[in-house]
Amino acid sequence: MDKLQNEIDIKKWLDSEKAKRDLCGNYLFCKYCDKSLANPCASAYKKMKSDSESKPIVNKPTTSKPVNKKEKKSSKYHRLTFEDKINRADDETRQVLQEIVESIETDEIKATIYKRFMSIKYNHRLCAWISFNRKSLKVHLPLNPNSFVEYKPMNYSEIKTYLNNPYTLKLDTQRSKKAICILVNKVVKSIKEGKNTFIVN
């Protein structure tokens, strides 16, 4: 239940940042909310799912189309969780991720594995996340992609998923591994200063 609550909190936070307003109370499951519970959002979501499952569902007819083996294999891979992908990765990738976590984590900064990514939080505030696809380990930060160009970032600002974390680094060199520590601390400093804008220049 705690894990589901954390995942919903992250989604609400990302959606609220995009909408520039607090979206708490605006989701379909919010009508089931009981704020006296320890995990109100997770409890409300489960109650909504339980109610929907108890109602008959009318399936719409679908037209099937042939799927080639390559597409099927790719689809299966993308359904894997972050943890599954890391477990399937080579020893070098797992070692890189472990080194990054060990270099970043403090009493206030924590790395947590979720279904699709690893989050890096400062005092429960999301300040970066790490994704993994095939052999590519990347970190996504709420930084202006035109800043800190010495680390050669990729600009993911046109991809909806990374709208609030467009500054992307491929973690494949010692330089990029050192850069993530420096850049996460930049974001933490911005959070401590209470800056309104989420994108750090």
In a domain, 58, yes or no: no
- Range(s) of the domain holding residue 48: 2-53
In a domain, 200, yes or no: no
In a domain, 65, yes or no: no
Mean pLDDT, residues 73-92: 78
Q: How far apart are CA 109 and CA 17, in angstroms?
A: 21
In a domain, 9, yes or no: yes
Strands 136-141 and 167-170, bridge-based pairing: antiparallel
27 and 77 co-located in one domain? no
As a whole number of Å, the end-to-end CA separation of the chain is: 36
In a domain, 134, yes or no: yes
In a domain, 201, yes or no: no
80 and 177 co-located in one domain? yes
| pLDDT for 92 | 87
Mean pLDDT, residues 87-99: 88
Total tally of structural domains belonging to the chain: 2
Q: How far apart are CA 162 and CA 140, in angstroms?
A: 7
Q: Which helix (H) or strand (E) holds 50?
A: helix 40-53
Q: How far apart are CA 129 and CA 141, in angstroms?
A: 7
In a domain, 92, yes or no: yes
92 and 143 co-located in one domain? yes
Q: The tokens of 88 are what?
A: 């399937």
| pLDDT for 53 | 63
Residue 86 has pLDDT above 70, yes or no: yes
| pLDDT for 59 | 46
pLDDT, tens digit (0-9, with 9 covering 90-100), for 106-157:
888 999 998 889 999 998 888 899 999 877 899 999 999 998 999 999 999 8
| pLDDT for 67 | 54
| pLDDT for 153 | 92
Residue 73 has pLDDT above 80, yes or no: no
Q: What is the mean pLDDT of the chain?
A: 80
Residue 198 has pLDDT above 60, yes or no: no
88 and 130 co-located in one domain? yes
In a domain, 113, yes or no: yes
pLDDT, tens digit (0-9, with 9 covering 90-100), for 20-70:
677 788 888 888 888 888 888 888 888 888 876 655 444 444 455 555 555
